[in-house]
Structure 1
Amino acid sequence: MRVLGIDPGLRNMGWGVIEVDGSRLRHVANGVIHSETGELGVRLAALYRGLCAVIAAHSPDTAAVEQTFVNKDAVGTLKLGQARGIALLAPAEAGLSIGEYAPNAVKKTVVGVGHAAKEQVQHMVRVQLPGVQFEGPDAADALAIAICHSRHMQGRNVKVVA
């Protein structure tokens, strides 16, 4: 089973694909889709096209997206929510089931602590995916989201048939 993890962002949308075989995980690919500054619609379209290309290239069986947290800047939160909409739309249009996880749930699953630092998350992703090279911090977060989804699916004994 292939799992696509997505870390939504308007400027940088991280993605990571892992392969799951029982309790074993294997890194397939990771990267970051960038959108330039400018008109919001153009930026969202670039993210959508980039994410659709990732899905076409790696044929995941399921996807997982990190939930948005609300911060002090309402405009920034709204824009992030729109990017998250793209992160949900692309896999949904590809017919993938999508899991959604709060940032603390991802950290708790991958590290064992819900308020782990980014460095701790990256370290544990490297432990679980030996030899992985991150294309950036957003890609590392996306791989953590994919790992979280795979562990939750195993806990529910979910089987995905390709």
Structure 2
Amino acid sequence: MRILGVDPGSRITGYGVIELADTKPRYVASGCIRTRNDALEQRLAQIYAGLSELIGQHRPEVVAVERVFMSKNADSALKLGQARGAAIVCVANHGLAMEEYAPRQIKQAVTGQGGADKIQVQHMVTAVLGLNATPQEDAADALAAALTYAYSRSGLVAAGSVSSKRKSSSWRHFTP
């Protein structure tokens, strides 16, 4: 099974692709979609196009997306939500299953601590996947989202510690 993890952002959207053979995750690819300093609608289009290209290239069966967290800066939270929306529409238009995880759930699944910092997440992702170099923060977060799905699917995460919401394939038709 191939899993695409996405850490949405209006300027940098991280992605990570892993394969799950039995219960052993294997690294495939990771990186960042960096948008140009354009108007927000153009950045959203760039996120959509970048994810669409990645989906075509890597052919994931499921996408794990980090949920929006609340921020003190409402404008930043809205832009993050819109970037996440562009990613979700891309996933839906490709007919893929999607799982959502809160940042705290991802940190808990990967490091064992819901309050882990980005350095701890990077360290664990590097160790678990046997990487030669530490991935950039956004890419590591995306790989961590993919690992969270892999762990929850293979039963490696305690029941109830990772909850997700499966999207019905019928919602991609945009019917009310």
For the aligned pair, the TM-score class normalised by the smaller chain equals over 0.9
Partner of 1:44: 44
CA distance in 1, matches of 2:132, 2:65: 20
Offset of residue 92 of structure 1: 1.5
- Residue 89 of structure 1: aligned partner: 89
1:41 and 1:13 map into 2 onto residues whose CA distance is: 15
2:110 corresponding residue in structure 1: 110
**Structure 2: distance between partners of 1:72 and 1:115:** 18
Q: What is the TM-score of this pair, normalised by structure 2?
A: 0.85
Distance 1:123 1:91, change over 3 A: same
Residue 72 of structure 1 aligns to a residue whose secondary structure is: coil
Residue matched to 2:55: 55
Query: In structure 1, what is the equivalent of residue 172 of structure 2?
Result: none
Matched with 1:11 is 11
2:15 partner amino acid: W
Structure 2: which 5+ runs fail to align? Answer: 160-176
Query: Which segment drifts farther, 73-82 or 5-14?
Result: 73-82
Counterpart secondary structure, 1:78? helix
Residue range with higher mean Cα deviation, 87-96 or 14-23: 87-96
Tell me if the contact between 1:27 and 1:132 (Cα under 8 Å) persists in the aligned partners: no
- Equivalent residue, structure 2, for 1:64: 64
Task: Label 1:143 to 1:117 Cα distance change in 2 as closer, same or farther (>3 A).
Answer: same
Two-structure CA RMSD over aligned residues (Å): 1.3
Task: Say if 2:126 and 2:134, in contact at 8 Å, map to a contact too.
Answer: no
Identity among equivalent positions (%) equals 46
Look up the SS of the partner of 2:37 in the other structure: coil
Q: What are the superposed Cα offsets for residues 41-69 of structure 1, whole Å, 9 maximum, x if unpaired?
A: 11110111011000000000100000001
Q: What is aligned with 2:125?
A: 125
The TM-score normalised by the length of structure 1 is 0.92
* C-alpha displacement of 1:145: 0.5
Deviates more, 1:37-46 or 1:124-133: 124-133
**Match for residue 149 of structure 2?**
149
* Alpha-carbon displacement from aligned partner over 1:69-106 (angstroms, at most 9, x marks no partner): 11111111111100000121111111111000000100
Higher relative contact order (CA 8 A, sep 6+): 1
Please tell me whether the aligned partners of residues 125 and 140 of structure 2 are also in contact (alpha carbons under 8 angstroms).
yes
The question of whether the paired residues in 2 share the 8 Å contact of 1:30 and 1:134 is answered with: no
- Matched-pair contact (CA < 8 Å) for 2:17–2:27: yes
Residue identity opposite 1:7 in structure 2: D
Q: Structure 1: give runs of 5+ residues left out of the alignment.
A: 157-162
Per mean C-alpha deviation after superposition, the further-off stretch among 35-44 and 79-88 is: 35-44
Secondary structure of 1:138's counterpart equals helix
- Partner Cα distance (1:134, 1:27) in 2: 13
Q: Which aligned segments of 4 or more residues in structure 1 are displaced greater than 3 angstroms? A: 132-135
Aligned to 1:74: 74
SS in 1 for 2:98: strand
The answer to whether the Cα contact below 8 Å between 1:31 and 1:134 also exists between their aligned partners in 2 is no
